[in-house]
Amino acid sequence: MLKSITGSPFLEDWVGVKVTVYVDKNVRFGKESVEGLRLSPARVTKPVLSPEKTQAWNNAKAAFKRDGNLDAVLARMDISPEHRRQLEQECSS
């Protein structure tokens, strides 16, 4: 699993890689289902979009005008409901 997360089969390349470890209650071990540990890439927190981040704000406005929605922006950044309304109002005026 770490090979698929890091892109490398070498242990030396796995140093410092953040993962989430969780319990899966349906791991197959031979003919039995047992509990086992699973790994997944660590959840990355997205930066928060606000008007103070002028370049990102202007890029988000351009994306909204181009696409008619914020899907592309929300894939990369989080935005509060208030700032979302503000951005949409700025784009409609």
Based on the fold, state whether residues 53 and 86 are members of the same structural domain: yes
Name the burial class of residue 72, with classes exposed (0-12), middle (13-18) and buried (19+) by CB atoms within 10 angstroms of its CB.
Answer: middle
Using a cut of 0.85, tell me whether the model's pTM lies above it: no
- Residues 3-61 have pLDDT tens digits of 888 889 999 988 988 888 999 999 999 999 999 999 888 877 889 999 999 999 999 99
List of residues 6+ apart from 63 with CB closer than 8 A: 70, 72, 73
Q: Are residues 34 and 53 in the same domain?
A: no
88 and 56 share one domain: yes
Is 26 in the same domain as 55?
Answer: no
DSSP class of 14: G
Residues 57 and 86 in one domain: yes
How many domains is the chain built from? 2
Query: Which tens digit of pLDDT belongs to each residue from 63-93?
Result: 999 999 999 999 889 999 999 999 999 998 7
57 and 73 within one domain: yes
Kindly state whether residues 34 and 52 are assigned to the same domain. Answer: no
Q: Are residues 6 and 31 in the same domain?
A: yes
Are both 27 and 60 inside the same structural domain?
Answer: no
Give the single-character DSSP code of 33.
Answer: E
Co-location of 14 and 33 in the same domain: yes
How far, rounded to the nearest angstrom, does the alpha carbon of residue 81 sit from its chain's CA centroid?
A: 19
Residues spanned by the domain of 32:
2-41
The terminus-to-terminus CA distance of the chain in angstroms comes to 50
